[in-house]
Amino acid sequence: MPGTMNSSDERRVYADFNATTPLRPEVREAMIECLGVYGNASSMHTSGRDARKRVEEARDAVEKLIGAGPKTVIFTSGGSESNNTVFNTMLRKALAGGGRNEIVTSGIEHPCVFNAAQHLQGQGLKVTFLKVDGTGKIDMEELKRALNEKTLLVSVMLANNEIGTVQDLAEISRLAKAAGAWVHTDAVQAVGKIPVDVDALGVDYLTMSAHKIYGPKGVGGLYVRKGAPLVPFVMGGHQEEGFRAGTYNNLGIMGFGTAAKVAYAELENYRTQTAALRDRLYQGLSKSIPNMKRNGHGTDVLPNTLNVSFPGAEGEAILLAMDFAGIEASTGSACASGSLEPSPVLMATGLGPELAHGSIRFSLGWGITEADIDYIVEKLPPIIARLRAMSSVES
C-alpha cells in the first residue's frame, strides 16, 4: 500500500487518493483468484453460471455498502458513464414531452456532470447551475427558487472531489421531491469514506466508482431506485436487465465487490484514522507556513481531504517541487489536470484566481502514516518559502 514507498532509496509519499487508489491486498488476491473465471456471465452452462454467481455476489456487496435493496445497482465502466447515463435518460424524458424540461445542478460538479448538463442545455433544456458559498455548500434558497413544476432532475454531488465539502443531500432531496423532480447524486468521492445510505439520502440515482475505494479501474456502479426511469446509454445486449449492454467485466466487477466488502467492514476505522492524519497535516503546516488558507467546509468535509492555498506561490510549481521531494498530491481534479485555468470549484467558492492557482489538494488514505505526514510537514514549508521569495506576488 502506498504511503511511504522506497525505490532506489528514494522516499515517496502518495497523498492523492481522491484521484485514484491502489488495490487493497484483499482485492488483489481476490482478482488473482478470479483470473481463471473466464465464463461469459450471460451463458447458461456451468462456467457461465459460476461467473454469474460471482457477479451477483459482488452486486450484493456494493448494494450493502450504500444501503440499497437487491437488484438496484447496475455495473458500468465507471463514474463518468454512470453520470452520463442519468443525464441521457433525462434528455430522452424531456424530449418525449410531459412538461418537465428543467435541470438543476451545482456549479462545482465533477466535469462529467457539469459537461453533461451543458450538453442538455445545448439540446434546449433549461439548466440552473446553483451557486455555492465560501465553504462549497450550495445556496439552499437559490435551490428553492429554482424548483418548480417543470423541474425534471436535481443533481448535486454528495462530496466534492477537490475541497471535500459534503452537501446536505437529504434536505436537497426533500425539496426536490416536493417539486416532483428526480434526484441524482455523484457519490464517487463519498462512498467508502463516509456512511452512505440511499434511503436516508432520498436519492433516485447514485453514482460510484471502484477505483476510488481501492478497487480496479474501469468499473463502477449506478444505483437506480425502483420505479425511476432509465434509458440505456450503452445498447446492444440484454445484460443488466437490458439497461447496460456488453459482456460482463468479470474481473473488474469481482474486484469491485471485494473492495466494497472491505470498505463496509472498515468504514469507521477509515474515517477515524484519515481524519486524525488530515488534522495532523493541517496543524503541522499551519504552524510552519504563514498566511496559509484552508478551503472547504470546516466540519462537513470528507475525513481524508485537505485543500489549502498558499498566497505568493503557484500551484503547479509547488506540485513539481513536492514531487521532486517525493511527495505526490494534486492541484485539484485529476480530470482537469491539463488545464491552465484556475479551479472552477475554488473560483465558485469566491477564491480569486491567484489563490485558486496556488492551491494544493492533499487526499489521504490507507497506507499513509504519521511519519508520512511529518515528512510532508518537514518538506513543504521550505518549498513554499523558496517559491514565495521568487514570486512577484505578495504573500
CB 391 within 8 A of CB 310: no
Q: Coil, strand or helix: which one is 234? A: coil
Q: Coil, strand or helix: which one is 207? A: strand
* Integer Cα distance of 86 and 80 in angstroms: 10
Catalytic residue among 276, 334, 335, 336: 335
Q: Alpha carbon of 16 to those of 66, 329, 365: distances in Å?
A: 24, 5, 8
Q: Coil, strand or helix: which one is 107? A: coil
Please, is 122 exposed, middle or buried when counting C-beta atoms within 10 Å of its C-beta (0-12, 13-18, 19+)?
A: exposed
Q: Alpha carbon of 260 to those of 3, 109, 114, 191, 209: distances in Å?
A: 21, 24, 27, 9, 10
Four-residue CA torsion sign, 52, 53, 58, 60: positive
**What is the crossing angle of helices 370-390 and 250-288, to 10°?**
60
C-alpha cell read off for 304: 481524508
* Integer Cα distance of 57 and 387 in angstroms: 52
Provide the residue type at 96 as one letter: A
Strands 151-155, 182-186: parallel, antiparallel or unpaired by DSSP? parallel
Four-residue CA torsion sign, 352, 278, 8, 383: positive
**How many C-beta neighbours within 10 Å does residue 265 have?**
12
Tell which residue, 281, 255, 267, 260, has the closest CA to residue 370. 281
- Residue 34 annotated as catalytic: no
Please, is 7 exposed, middle or buried when counting C-beta atoms within 10 Å of its C-beta (0-12, 13-18, 19+)?
A: exposed
Provide the residue type at 78 as one letter: G
**Catalytic positions, written as ranges:** 335
